[in-house]
Amino acid sequence: MNKRFEITGVVQGVGFRPFVYQLAHRYGLHGFTKNNTTGVSVEVEGDPKEIDAFIEALQDELPPLARIDRLTSEEMAYVGHQSFKILDSDTDNTRSALVSPDIAICNECLAEMNNLEDRRYDYPFINCTNCGPRYSIMHKLPYDRPHTSMRSFVMCEACKSEYTNPLDRRFHAQPVSCYECGPRLSLLDNTHKVLAEGEDALLLTVRSIQKGDIVAVKGLGGFHLICDATNSEAVDRLRERKNRPVKPFAVMFRDIDTLKSSVQISPEETNLISSMEKPIVIVSKRVPSKISDSVAPKIDRLGVFLAYTPVHYLLLDLLNVPLVATSANKSDEPIIRDSATLIEKLGTVVDSVLDHDRGIVNANDDSVVQMAIDRKITLRMARGYAPKSIKLPFQSKKKILAVGANQKNSIAMIFDDILILSPHIGDLNSLEAFEYFERTVETFKNFYEFEPEVIVYDKHPEYMATKWAKSLQMDQPNLHCIELQHHYAHILSVMAEFQLENKVLGFSFDGTGYGDDGTIWGGEVMIADSQHYDRIVSIAPFKLLGGEKAIKEPRRSALALLFETYTLDELETLRSTTLAQFTKDEITMLHHAWKQGINAPLCSSMGRLFDAVASLAGVVHLSSFEGESGLIMEQYVDKNITEIFPFEINDGVIDLQPMIRTMVQMVDKKEIISIFFNTLVEMIFSVASEHTTLPLVFSGGVFQNRVLVEMITKRCKEENLAFYFNNETAINDGGIALGQAWYALHQDSDL
């Protein structure tokens, strides 16, 4: 019998063809396998029972990085193959072969690196087909060495032998190298002077960190700023130099046992931390701990991750302490990928730079996730998880580009039956960030020979991605442009991830988004499907005192709600922690601005409501980083407190005034915050009770709050309700492009 199989999915550059080769030998089959324009072709001849066993093993024993989306087969005429071969790729295999993310060092490579007898003992760039750089070193497809930043390194005979042997773990591992032929470490000072190279560079880096220095270390997708996480003076020095007063730092550990001495983790969190993607996972601190209190002040949570490159492991082995490892970038700029830029921008922050000469082509930050009971919540989808491909339920007739939001930007593209999501790009608030956005668009267009026929963008006229899309339309009049409301896109992002086609009841809660009425939305409930939505409920709009200034000053949102609820004379009789933050003259001036609507835009933002409650409870009045209010509030929630604040929903508007009036009479922080969380959950399920046939969908930055997600999850399970949060895709604005692309996919085919 002769059978031909066509396989699509993540099957190139992930060890799939040698896997097929080994299976064919296992079952005594002859034929061939090769890459093609959409994936991999396999032809096998032999006993029908052995072919059946082969195809079963093909699907059940996949290499760690591979994924089969579709497998089709047909019986062919018998040829009489004499062996099984891996043939050269089809010449044009660039159109829809899928780009694989960068993956952390695997256990086999780690074992070799720790083996004194192995030729790659302590080698800082060890990798194989199952691990190491992919996306970050690629110039273009196909994923062959000449198309990567490894093209300047000529393989030695030993590496070439591994690279060309289908039975070897390094068969066609494009970054394969060793001491003789691979990249080399170098340590630079902050004037770009070379201090040491090779092993000496590593040893000098260790000594620098031990004495409290801050060192920039080149990872897979960019540089980290690194210091000893147990040294408070070093951590405080990093905060001062980087002008980052309280925003938490992530901490890198060598292994899971060391990590467990500093944090409390569940089995689910353990699996996430130990996974091949090695994301940063936000977990509960352990008290006491060797980790400096300065690493994550004021909160009971810590972002932790395991070493994921050989260099990280070598450093941690020699230091024997956990390390602060935060992205090397200036505020509102992307992670830095080369030492010259790093020294130019952060030369006053770092004492030295541990560099190497394998170039980073595509920057890629660390992924950030957390668990909420059994829900994985993705806060940043990047290294390890992205680029991400999603197989669609049907073919798209158009090539679609979605350009996302202004904050936590990512892009998405659709062609054929594939949706591609880029890694996290970041906030487009600087020239450097916007250049990174444009570079990422071009990277993915080049990967897939992609020119959009449809472009989707956010409704906000001042978003940089929106302006870029409109400018593109002017240059390309035949390009069809779609403007999409922000909070609807949040809901659609969940529908896209879970491929929900019918109507849902969507709760889209975040900080800001441009509403259909020109005001700022952010506390929205919608009945939605993939083509339309109806906004059925929102929180009562209130004014943002000082506009964007209110985002960094939660006290302003609180004061605005007090102005909505009380007269100026009545406020003078109140004792409020918020009012104590302002002088009497400031209150009078701000009340005038509120009354006249001077720099006081209307908003229905749940994120700003969180800020207001944080101030009214006396826990955060001035914020130094996004989401600080919610993060601080989490640790005040007492699950034994079950009361709720009074609230009313009239004509689709949630009246907040009864809640505010009750709240200002209270002084206990724990009670105020616990009852607020209970009330918010009650609001959600009060609306849900009116639409019992619809599944519930939750998306937006507010649902980064672990406690809130846990409370909603528990209630949904108690009431046996179907419900969905973003899981593998970003729940914040990082998911907007996904929702935009899903919407365009479902529009009329004659766009």
pLDDT of residue 412: 98
pLDDT of residue 234: 98
- Token reading at 684: 């959600």
pLDDT of residue 39: 83
Q: Looking at 34-38, 429-433, 629-633, which range is the least confident one?
A: 34-38
pLDDT of residue 11: 86
Q: Please state, in angstroms and as integers, the Cα–Cα distance from residue 570 to each residue in 15, 138, 157, 686, following that order.
A: 71, 64, 84, 32
Residue 748 has pLDDT above 90, yes or no: no
HEC assignment per residue over 310-338: HHHHHHHHHHCCCEEEEECCCCCCCCCCC
Residues 6+ apart with CB under 8 A from 725: 375, 377, 494, 698, 699, 703, 709, 731
What is residue 381's three-state secondary structure?
A: coil
Sorting pLDDT into bands at 50, 70 and 90, what band is 90?
A: low
Strands 84-86 and 67-76: unpaired
User: What phi and psi, each to the nearest 5 degrees, are found at residue 110?
Assistant: -65, -40
- Unique residue bearing structure tokens 């969905």: 724
- 321 and 230 Cβ atoms separated by less than 8 Å: yes
Gap between the Cα atoms of 49 and 409, Å rounded:
51
Q: What is the mean pLDDT of residues 413-417?
A: 94
Gap between the Cα atoms of 656 and 537, Å rounded:
13
Gap between the Cα atoms of 537 and 650, Å rounded:
9
Q: What is the mean pLDDT of residues 503-531?
A: 96
- Arithmetic mean of pLDDT over the chain: 94
User: What phi and psi, each to the nearest 5 degrees, are found at residue 329?
Assistant: -165, 160
Burial class (CB in 10 A: 0-12, 13-18, 19+), 180: exposed
- 392 and 427 Cβ atoms separated by less than 8 Å: no
Q: What is the mean pLDDT of residues 143-148?
A: 90
Residue 88 has pLDDT above 90, yes or no: no
Residue type, 106: C
Question: In 300-417, at which residue ranges do the beta strands (DSSP E only) sit?
Answer: 301-306, 323-327, 352-356, 368-372, 375-380, 388-391, 400-402, 412-415
- 724 and 697 Cβ atoms separated by less than 8 Å: yes
Q: Give the model confidence (pLDDT) of 603-639 as tens digits.
A: 999 999 999 999 999 999 999 998 999 999 999 999 9
DSSP state of 288: S
Gap between the Cα atoms of 51 and 668, Å rounded:
70
Residue 93 has pLDDT above 50, yes or no: no
Residue 49 has pLDDT above 80, yes or no: yes
- Report CA 147 to chain centroid distance, whole Å: 26
Percent of residues, the chain, with pLDDT higher than 90: 89
Residue 344 has pLDDT above 90, yes or no: yes
Residue type, 455: I
pLDDT of residue 92: 54
Count Cβ atoms below 10 Å from residue 241 Cβ, excluding itself.
Answer: 15
- Unique residue bearing structure tokens 């009036």: 661
Sorting pLDDT into bands at 50, 70 and 90, what band is 95?
A: low
pLDDT of residue 751: 46
Residues 6+ apart with CB under 8 A from 68: 7, 8, 9, 11, 59, 62
Q: Please state, in angstroms and as integers, the Cα–Cα distance from residue 558 to each residue in 579, 616, 684, following that order.
A: 9, 6, 22
pLDDT of residue 94: 47
Residue 158 has pLDDT above 70, yes or no: yes
Dihedral in degrees, nearest 10, Cα atoms 275, 391, 698, 385: 30
Residues 6+ apart with CB under 8 A from 70: 6, 7, 8, 9, 391
User: What phi and psi, each to the nearest 5 degrees, are found at residue 205?
Assistant: -60, -45
pLDDT of residue 332: 85
CA-wise closest residue to 303 among 277, 334, 269: 269
pLDDT of residue 8: 86
pLDDT of residue 750: 47
Residue type, 581: Q
- Using omega within 30 degrees of 0 as the cis cutoff, is the peptide bond preceding 166 cis? no
Q: What is the CA radius of gyration of the chain?
A: 27
Q: What is the mean pLDDT of residues 703-731?
A: 97
Positive or negative: CA dihedral 420, 426, 430, 433: negative
H helices, E strands: number in the chain: 23, 32
Element (H or E) spanning 521, and its range? strand 520-528
What is residue 750's three-state secondary structure?
A: coil
Q: Looking at 67-71, 89-93, 246-250, 351-355, which range is the least confident one?
A: 89-93
Gap between the Cα atoms of 218 and 111, Å rounded:
22
- 301 and 285 Cβ atoms separated by less than 8 Å: yes
- Unique residue bearing structure tokens 């490159």: 309
Residues 6+ apart with CB under 8 A from 14: 63, 64, 65, 66, 100, 129, 130
Q: What is the mean pLDDT of residues 267-294?
A: 96
Residues 6+ apart with CB under 8 A from 519: 541, 601, 602, 603, 604
- Unique residue bearing structure tokens 């071969």: 85
Gap between the Cα atoms of 170 and 178, Å rounded:
12
Long-range CB pairs of 139-147 (<8 Å, 24+ gap) are 139/361, 140/94, 140/446, 140/447, 141/93, 141/94, 141/97, 141/99, 141/447, 141/448, 142/12, 142/35, 142/89, 142/93, 142/94, 142/97, 143/12, 143/13, 143/97, 143/99, 143/100, 143/174, 144/174, 145/174
Q: Please state, in angstroms and as integers, the Cα–Cα distance from residue 725 to each residue in 574, 700, 712, following that order.
A: 40, 9, 10
Sorting pLDDT into bands at 50, 70 and 90, what band is 562?
A: very high
- Token reading at 13: 């550059």
What is residue 33's three-state secondary structure?
A: strand
Q: Give the model confidence (pLDDT) of 446-473 as tens digits.
A: 999 999 999 999 999 999 999 999 999 9
Q: Please state, in angstroms and as integers, the Cα–Cα distance from residue 141 to each residue in 37, 372, 422, following that order.
A: 11, 38, 16
The total number of residues shown for the chain amounts to 751
What is residue 128's three-state secondary structure?
A: strand
Strands 67-76 and 696-699: unpaired
